[in-house]
Amino acid sequence: MALDDAARAALARAVGTENVIDDPVGRRAYECDGLTGFRVVPDLVVLPRDAAAVAAAVRACAAHHVPFVARGAGTGLSGGALPVADGIVVSLARLKAVLDVDPVDRRATVRPGVTNLEITAAAAPHGLYYAPDPSSQQVCTIGGNVAENSGGAHCLKYGFTSNHVLAMEVVLPDGTVVTLGGDSAEQSGPDLRGVFLGSEGTLGIATSITVRLLRVPETVRTLLADFPSVEAASDVVSDIVAAGIVPAAVEMMDTLAIEAAEEAVHAGYTVGVPAALVVELDGPVEECDVQFAQVKEICDRHGCTRLHIAGSVDERAAIWRGRKAAFAAVGRISPDYFVQDGVVPRTRLAETLTRIRAMGEEAGLRVANVFHAGDGNLHPLVLYSAAAGETDRAEALSSGIAELCVEMGGALSGEHGIGTDKACSMPTMFGEVDLATMDRVRRAFDPDGICNPGKVLPTPRLCGERPGRYRPHPLEESGLIERL
């Protein structure tokens, strides 16, 4: 049932007519997020100017049984912000105020449309920063980060979005406004804040978010090391961990990813080596000195063929540029690609990568790997050519890899979310009863099923449909953000 006139009028009253996008061309701009293979044009888009208008819009949706989908910057990679048929999109793009930065209690309160990097920019004058660092951080919003429980390269040591959000003001699907969380980690009853974090926009809309800020580390040490095999590089990761070192970041790239990155940004990686590791330590100078020496020794022990230590801020930036460019750069060596986000236990990294290589060979497709090795979060890129008719094969390989991660004792998604993309794979990780229990919790928040319906949990309708091919996000094509 399409949106009726009464619902349209109620929504216009809620946010103001001038903040409604009704024309087909305008609406089309919201038809997909970063998972561009899925597209649905929403019936209406509203762009509330303040939190009260968000609540009013949601109340109007509740009164008229209109499904709604919250949207931040639209960089999500799992189709979480994909509009739903006969529903509306609530864009948080205009809620961009930084409400408070408190250097004493080391926290900031911001509206959901503030970008991840803008929080750090607001905190920087106080020597503070916001730790979770998705590589889309220049453009992705904190509201989207909250919804996806986003991660980043430095989350190994510092934790994910969920570990950094103290409190949120949330508009529930019935339009009521509540606060989840509080001024400290001490809780009043069950951790509803924790349930909301990572719920992919299905339990309500966050309209204000209070995050913890950390002090900028005293020192940072970064190295880039080449290895004769992916196995050797994996062993280094294991030995670093076994030595009791918790690095700020440990990232791995394989030959194909290195080749693509070098071609794109010339960051000084060695083309042709089977594997490269980026290891970063941060913290007090004395600790970094001791542990950095240990890391170098571990690299040597595993046959490191070249060890490059960043000697300046610029050299460190170059190492990260190469790492972060790898994703988009793959577009240079392949017309199309799918990206996966599965997680495996760290000790099964080498085995998993070997299996992925074999699966790729069997499918006759190349797979590039660039990933968060420290926490086992893979980002295999399945390269293919749609023009050559390889789409179906690539898609099968891609979901096969996600499901392999589950088989290895891991998870379908480490940071990109389930959304529309992986909802149909959920039964490989969870039983029917587990999923039914999750659905019960969802209904406790959203009894009428109007808040981002059809995402996260498998539905017959969704799982009967077939996704289109992956296309790079426009921001990614323009080089503004990188994917990892």
Its sign, for the CA torsion 236, 238, 241, 244, is: negative
Pinpoint the alpha helices (H) of 30-107. Answer: 51-64
Question: Contact 147/70 with Cβ under 8 angstroms?
Answer: yes
Residues 265-294 that bind another protein (CB under 8 A): 283-284, 286-287, 289-291
Which one of 33-41, 225-233, 309-317, 431-439 is the stretch in contact with another protein (CB under 8 A)?
431-439
Among 33, 251, 415, 421, binds another protein (CB under 8 A): 415
Q: Is 325 in the site for ligand FAD (CB under 6 A)?
A: no
What span, in angstroms and rounded, lies between the C-alpha atoms of 241 and 251? 14
Pinpoint the alpha helices (H) of 65-160. Answer: 116-123, 142-148, 155-158
Among 27, 302, 416, 442, binds ligand FAD (CB under 6 A): 416
Q: How far is the CB of 483 from ligand FAD (least distance, A)?
A: 3
User: Which of 268, 138, 287, 150 is closest to 217 using CA atoms?
Assistant: 287
Q: Is 457 in the site for ligand FAD (CB under 6 A)?
A: no
Question: Contact 179/168 with Cβ under 8 angstroms?
Answer: yes
Give the per-residue contact string, 76-105, with another protein (x = CB under 8 A; - = no).
Answer: ----------------------------xx
What span, in angstroms and rounded, lies between the C-alpha atoms of 71 and 87? 13
Q: How far is the CB of 135 from ligand FAD (least distance, A)?
A: 4
Q: Is 163 in the site for another protein (CB under 8 A)?
A: yes
Q: How far is the CB of 128 from another protein (least distance, A)?
A: 10
Q: How far is the CB of 361 from ligand FAD (least distance, A)?
A: 28
Q: How far is the CB of 92 from ligand FAD (least distance, A)?
A: 5
H or E stretch at 100 = strand 98-102
Which residues are CB-contacts of 175 (< 8 A; sequence separation ≥ 6)? 55, 56, 58, 59, 60, 61, 62
The entry of ligand FAD, another protein, none that residue 460 binds, CB within 5 to 8 Å by partner kind: none
Question: Contact 367/360 with Cβ under 8 angstroms?
Answer: yes
Q: Is 238 in the site for another protein (CB under 8 A)?
A: yes
Q: How far is the CB of 117 from ligand FAD (least distance, A)?
A: 12
| Number of residues this chain uses to bind another protein (CB under 8 A) | 89
Residue labelled with tokens 């060596």: 333
Residues 355-374 that bind another protein (CB under 8 A): 372
Which one of 240-248, 283-291, 297-305, 475-483 is the stretch in contact with ligand FAD (CB under 6 A)?
475-483
Its sign, for the CA torsion 73, 74, 78, 82, is: positive
Q: Is 145 in the site for ligand FAD (CB under 6 A)?
A: yes
Q: Which C-beta is closer to another protein: that of 91 or that of 352?
A: 352
Residues 62-121 that bind ligand FAD (CB under 6 A): 69-77, 80-81, 92, 112
Which residues are CB-contacts of 132 (< 8 A; sequence separation ≥ 6)? 116, 145, 150, 151, 152, 154, 155, 158, 159, 160, 161, 164
Closest-by-Cβ residue to ligand FAD is 144
Residues 186-215 that bind ligand FAD (CB under 6 A): 200-201, 205-206
